[in-house]
Chain A
Amino acid sequence: MTQPGPDMSVVRFAREWIRRLPINHMPWDQREALLTDLAATLAVCLTAPQWDPRPARAVGTALAAAGFAQPDVAATTLILLAEHLHNLSSHDSDAARSRLPHLQAAVVSGHHAVAYDLALDGHETLLRNLAAARRRAEAELHRASLYDPVTGLPNRTLYTDRLTHLIRKRPDGRASVCIIDLHGFRAVNDSTGLDAGDTVLRQVAIRLQDYVNEIGGLVARLGDDEFAILVENTTSPEDAIKVTDRVLDLLTEPIQAGTRRLRLRASAGIVERSLAESDARELIRAAEVALGWAQGAGGNGWRLFDAERNDEQLARQHLSADIPAGIDRGEFQPVYQPIIALGTGHVVGAEALVRWRHPQRGLLLPGRFLDLVAATGYIVPLTVQLLNRACRDVAALPTRASQAPYLSFNIAPEHLTQPEIIAQIADALDRTGLPPSRLQIEVIETEQISTHTDSIAILRELAALGVRVVLDDFGTGNTNYLTLAKLPIHGIKIDSTFTRSLTGDDPQAAAVVRGIIRLGQDLDLTVTAEGIETVEQLTELQRLRCHHGQGYYFSRPVDTADLPARLHGRG
């Protein structure tokens, strides 16, 4: 028996149906087959001896399930059924017409049930997706606030949080914070571009993370080129040092950034301690202080935080802060060490040295503060103040014209490059009435003195003022002897270590000092030996015909008030 093909009128109904329905993803022939099938079912419903709504309902359901779920599908179908009823039931149209409303209701009901469910399902999925997208955006934001976007490592905030959490969780434990800083990273960025810089950072991050995965701990990127490692449950600084040594080792392996292979150097600061009464920020700061020490020591190594050293550093910082007020209040004062003519034993001059009478810390020697004064930029004002004071002190000394002592005054190398110095010295002489011939400027023998044209010009101007200039610490710098002959100077001073070596166990060193003294004499320079402490040294210097000398053998530095008495002593 053969299956009868669809009635042509049913096919016509189906085609009209497709034309009126909204679009559907099925190819035309599949759509035609489906709708012809559904139309045939509707025809059966209309003509069946017994009315059964179920097949008609199923037609509505099948329509929606096939993708005809749009709201106007039901309306389109109702109208089509009314208009083209004859295509579905040519035989008994009265019976069909009376059954039509029931058929329409059944189709709409079936369609609506599925379409409504689909809409609800769709909307629920939409809302879930929206919520998921929001969670993701929120998580992304949260992540962005806690992780470094370049390396994906935790950032400073998260590192600090974790450390705080650890301190709270294990107050009786120990831990170490190690902060690593890459050297010359900015140069990498500048010379190879930001991308290469980021590549370097990522590679460093991977190395650190891989290593820390082995030992357990937390790696973070704290800033530009600063990374940190947190190791829990350490037992002593030794544990932290081992980790740091390994890390610095790992970082010395060359890194490929684009076409370049870079060799990095790094420094590290470590703090390792009991967590009791610790604070995360304070631990990180301590490691950063230690990092500063490591960098200050030339880099490529680590330093362990040491509270004592930190205190000392803090004390120096406080001292630095006191400098400006100290200058204003005249707390910096000169003391004088007499300079003796070794041939006669007469006092011929005095070297001014500086002391700081600190209101809380008492009398401070220059070793405690001179570098701080230089670092804070107060060398020039302090020098000018002291020069005026010393010129006044020396000018006021009761003297006979023939042996009026001179003032020997030290000028720092950085001051010597400033052209204003000439005016400052001339001004001090004017104000105090000290004749230029009684001022001797001591400049340290540095490379700058012998090669820097500005410095040489300033030395010439000083000589033109009538002021004497001597090279201090001669023999410790690298002045070429030929250059020395051409420098506009009047004398050299021999450092106390040389003076000591004259009578020491090293005959070669002694020979060198003798050579220097002879050189000075040959160049017609006044030679002054510093640091004379024993009669043997004095005797040897006298034998070598060294012109002048100073040192504890003659006198310690004395206050202004005691200077006149010293001038008349043996020295």
Chain B
Amino acid sequence: MQPDWVPDGLDVDRPSIARIYDYMLGGSHNFAADRALARQVIEAIPDLPVQAAANRAFMHRAVRFLVGAGVTQFLDLGSGIPTLGNVHEIAQAVSPQARVVYVDIDDVAVLHSQHLLAGNPYAVAIHGDARRPDEILTNPKVTGMLDVTRPVAVLMIAVLHAISDDDDPAGIVAAFRDFMPSGSYLAVAHGVNTRIDYVDDLVDLSKRTTTPVTLRSPDQVQRLFNGFDLVDPGLVWAPLWRPESPHEVPDEPERSGNLAGVGHKP
């Protein structure tokens, strides 16, 4: 039996979405319970690893785009288990002093990130709940790392669909928007409910993780960018967002199941 002082994220018998995501990306930072559920999920929805990969690849391209646009500060919400190609690796490869704050609700993910970031003066990982923007934005590690007088990129890759309507995702995005200075960016990848072949399965299976999933319509996702101007090409299937080569675009981009976009705060 699990001792009762173990926080949710440390309960290795309860699947964690961060660790399932890691498994789908081919990572090894997961436990038997995560893998068992991941295998079931993949059986029901074979495209899920494709989706995870598409979101991850979108994140890579978005960060490179943002660094190119002059952004040197990143707040990555729901950063998950760090695998190769994290925000700071990509951003600091171009801009060595780019600052990155990773936030996740999963303790193992946070500890792992902290381990990885030891000795990196420009990146920190904190334990935080994206549903509580105030707690994140007033965390001394966050205020110590991000300069709110300069543009900040807030990354919400595959995180808003882990926030239920009851928790008011639009309100949460708005709270971060209000904190972001003019010239900042918001990058979102969000699972949509247009693929009727698996939506119910996915939602049901996700209820067994610590963070159930709410898939939304493209309109609903679009509205989350309220107060931002979407940069080209707007809100599109994740692989179609600024591919770095025409060869990179898969034959069926809709298999990504996630719409992706980057908004600019005027």
Asked if chains A and B come from one complex, the reply is yes
> Chain A residues in contact with chain B, CB under 8 A?
15, 18-19, 22-29, 32, 67, 69-72, 118-120, 122-123, 125-126, 128-130, 132-134, 137-138, 141
Question: Beyond A22-B26, A129-B112, A134-B10, is A141–B5 a contact (Cβ under 8 Å)?
Answer: yes
The digit string for B74-92, where 1 denotes a CB below 8 A from any CB of A, is: 0000000000111001100
What A residues does B7 contact at CB under 8 A?
A: 133, 137
Report if B167 contacts A (CB, 8 A): no
Given A25-B90, A129-B112, A137-B107: 14 more A-B contacts, CB < 8 Å = A23-B25, A26-B85, A28-B245, A32-B245, A67-B84, A118-B28, A123-B28, A123-B29, A125-B29, A125-B112, A126-B30, A129-B108, A132-B111, A133-B9
Say how far A134's CB is from chain B's closest CB, in angstroms: 6
7 pairs of A and B residues whose beta carbons are closest in the complex: A25-B85, A70-B26, A28-B244, A122-B28, A119-B28, A129-B111, A67-B84
Check B245 against A29 for contact (C-beta < 8 Å): yes
Check B26 against A137 for contact (C-beta < 8 Å): no
Check B248 against A28 for contact (C-beta < 8 Å): yes
In the complex, what distance in Å separates the CA atom of A502 from the CA atom of B90? 103
What are 9 contact pairs spanning A and B, CB under 8 A?
A: A18-B247, A24-B85, A27-B244, A67-B85, A122-B28, A125-B112, A130-B108, A133-B10, A133-B108
In the complex, what distance in Å separates the CA atom of A126 from the CA atom of B115? 10
Complex interface: stretch among B53-61, B145-153, B170-178, B204-212: B53-61
Say how far A25's CB is from chain B's closest CB, in angstroms: 2
Check B111 against A134 for contact (C-beta < 8 Å): no
Question: Beyond A24-B85, A25-B85, A133-B111, is A126–B28 a contact (Cβ under 8 Å)?
Answer: yes
Question: Beyond A18-B247, A32-B245, A129-B108, is A70–B12 a contact (Cβ under 8 Å)?
Answer: no
The digit string for B87-112, where 1 denotes a CB below 8 A from any CB of A, is: 00110000000000000000110011
Check B84 against A138 for contact (C-beta < 8 Å): no
Least CB separation from A24: chain B residue: B85
Least CB separation from B86: chain A residue: A25
What B residues does A72 contact at CB under 8 A?
A: 26
In the complex, what distance in Å separates the CA atom of A19 from the CA atom of B132? 39
Say how far A196's CB is from chain B's closest CB, in angstroms: 19
Least CB separation from B30: chain A residue: A126
Check B56 against A15 for contact (C-beta < 8 Å): no
Report if B69 contacts A (CB, 8 A): no
Question: Beyond A118-B28, A137-B6, is A129–B115 a contact (Cβ under 8 Å)?
Answer: yes
Check B115 against A134 for contact (C-beta < 8 Å): no
What B residues does A120 contact at CB under 8 A?
A: 28
Contact-size category for B: 35 or more
Check B26 against A69 for contact (C-beta < 8 Å): yes
Least CB separation from A129: chain B residue: B111
Question: Beyond A126-B108, A129-B111, is A138–B5 a contact (Cβ under 8 Å)?
Answer: yes
In the complex, what distance in Å separates the CA atom of A119 from the CA atom of B30? 10
What B residues does A118 contact at CB under 8 A?
A: 28
What A residues does B244 contact at CB under 8 A?
A: 27-29
What B residues does A123 contact at CB under 8 A?
A: 28-29
- Chain B contacts with A in 24-70, Cβ cutoff 8 A: 25-31, 53-54, 56-57, 60, 64
In the complex, what distance in Å separates the CA atom of A133 from the CA atom of B10? 7
Which of these, A18, A126, A138, contacts B29 with CB under 8 Å? A126
In the complex, what distance in Å separates the CA atom of A191 from the CA atom of B31? 52
Check A70 against B6 for contact (C-beta < 8 Å): no
Which of B27, B53, B64 has the most CB atoms of chain A within a 10 A radius of its CB?
B27
In the complex, what distance in Å separates the CA atom of A129 from the CA atom of B244? 36
Check A25 against B84 for contact (C-beta < 8 Å): yes
Check B85 against A19 for contact (C-beta < 8 Å): no
Check B27 against A122 for contact (C-beta < 8 Å): yes
Check A23 against B56 for contact (C-beta < 8 Å): yes
Say how far B81's CB is from chain A's closest CB, in angstroms: 8
Question: Beyond A22-B26, A122-B28, is A134–B89 a contact (Cβ under 8 Å)?
Answer: no
Question: Beyond A23-B56, A25-B84, is A133–B29 a contact (Cβ under 8 Å)?
Answer: no
What B residues does A22 contact at CB under 8 A?
A: 25-26, 53
In the complex, what distance in Å separates the CA atom of A118 from the CA atom of B90? 20
What A residues does B30 contact at CB under 8 A?
A: 126
In the complex, what distance in Å separates the CA atom of A125 from the CA atom of B118? 14
Say how far A18's CB is from chain B's closest CB, in angstroms: 7
In the complex, what distance in Å separates the CA atom of A130 from the CA atom of B27? 16
In the complex, what distance in Å separates the CA atom of A127 from the CA atom of B243? 36
- Chain B contacts with A in 221-266, Cβ cutoff 8 A: 243-245, 247-248, 250
In the complex, what distance in Å separates the CA atom of A90 from the CA atom of B221? 51
Check B6 against A134 for contact (C-beta < 8 Å): yes
Check B56 against A130 for contact (C-beta < 8 Å): no
Check B247 against A15 for contact (C-beta < 8 Å): yes
Say how far A376's CB is from chain B's closest CB, in angstroms: 46
In the complex, what distance in Å separates the CA atom of A23 from the CA atom of B225? 27
